[in-house]
Amino acid sequence: MVMDPKTMRPVKRAAAGVAPVVTLDPASTTQEPGETATFTSTASGDPTPTVQWQLSTDGGSNWNDIGGATSGSYTTPTLTAGDDGNQYRAVWTNSEGSATSNAATLSMDVFYELEWIDLEFVNNPTNLLLN
């Protein structure tokens, strides 16, 4: 307990803040082209931490902030096959420090429709015509 030297009464000290702690990491997901994906993270801390989502397109070697992605959930733009392997993470910050979530990986479920091709033999079985 700390005493005020003039009044000899106890003095309340300002409570120390608490750095962010990630309480929910975003989950990896598999989506199809044309869909979107939503990632969610939460953190505790005092004062309440703010969040900035980041994207890595190179397996986690480099991370870039996603403009405007500053809420607990982030929804991607419409996905393409080229988004396969992208990673997303949340960086939580307050005046006491920061904490980074584990990365979630986006996998694209890319499928191709095969079209049957009819083959006909004409006069000679070694000459094929495609219809």
Whole-angstrom Cα distance, residue 22 to residue 20? 7
* CATH class of the domain at 18-109: mainly beta
Residues 2-9 have a mean pLDDT of: 69
Taking alpha carbons only, the member of 2, 81, 91 closest to residue 53 is 91
Q: What percent of the chain has pLDDT over 70?
A: 77
Ramachandran bin of 96, using left for φ above 0, alpha for ψ from -120 to 50, beta for the remaining angles: alpha
Give the tens place of pLDDT for each residue, 38-48: 999 999 999 99
What is the residue extent of each domain of the chain?
A: 18-109
pLDDT band at 96 (very low <50, low <70, confident <90, very high): very high
